[in-house]
Amino acid sequence: MISNIPKWMIGLFGNKLSPNVKVVETTFLSPQVKKVSFQGDVSDWDFTIGYASVIRVSETEFRNYTVAHYDKENGVFDIIFHIHGNGAGSKFIEGLKVSDELFISPPRGKKLYETNKQQQFFFGDETSLGVACAWLPLLKKNQQQFQFYFELDEINKSVPERLALENYTVFPKNNSFRNEKWISTLPLFQTQEWNTANIALVGNVKSVQVFRKVLKDKKQGSIYSQGYWLEGKKGL
């Protein structure tokens, strides 16, 4: 779904964009990372890893977010939000409180996970933490070898631990992942066992693009990528 819809077009959707979930719990994992639990009818939702839900953040604006955990039986699901800047999405999410009602669409989008690969590698930032949380139980259940890399601001570096993520490495957000030569020195490239891995790159568009280029040049792994945000661009 596009990030902005004119008011006249909103009217065409009628009740389809009316509030359909309610906030049941909120927790700040850091000053910039907020976990929100919602409740609603999710019995028909497809929570495939990598799919995203559209959230209505204003009368005419919408943003995409990924579900971190879900319980279909009780109709409860969690989303982990990165709150940064003064955008419509960040302002809306920061203000969410228990009992608030809003519209969230069923997840849809792009798959990131090949179940038949023994090695699984994931790269992302604050916007990607929810995907990692959703992925972890599957990786453990399937007894796969996995590694998470996160580039995080200093204020958020303890969030993966608070989320009980495993096998992760946190890198400072200092533009290292914009440097092809530096990326080539990462442990991922120093052993042949990761040459055929399932590799998912998500988060900041520029970091994802550079990382993907290095992987493609080295002909390494099955690469899946999805940019979640780009400096200066609204509603990616």
Per-residue pLDDT tens over the stretch 80-114: 999 987 788 899 999 999 999 999 999 998 889 88
pLDDT at 1: 43
pLDDT at 2 over 80: no
State how far the Cα of 90 lies from the Cα of 109, in Å rounded to an integer. 22
Please, which pLDDT band fits residue 29 given cuts at 50, 70 and 90?
A: very high
CB 152 within 8 A of CB 162: no
Tokens at 33, concatenated: 């990372």
- In terms of average pLDDT, the best of 57-66, 191-200, 209-218 is 209-218
For the chain, which domains are there?
Answer: 7-108 (2.40.30.10), 110-229 (3.40.50.80)
Could you give the angle at the alpha carbon of 212 between the alpha carbons of 171 and 109, nearest 5°?
Answer: 95
Q: Please state which of the ranges 8-12, 47-51, 120-124 shows the lowest mean pLDDT.
A: 8-12
Q: What is the pLDDT of residues 172-188, one digit of tens each?
A: 999 999 999 999 999 88
Q: Is the dihedral of CA 107, 112, 115, 120 positive or negative?
A: negative
User: Which bin fits 109, alpha (ψ -120 to 50), beta or left (φ > 0)?
Assistant: left
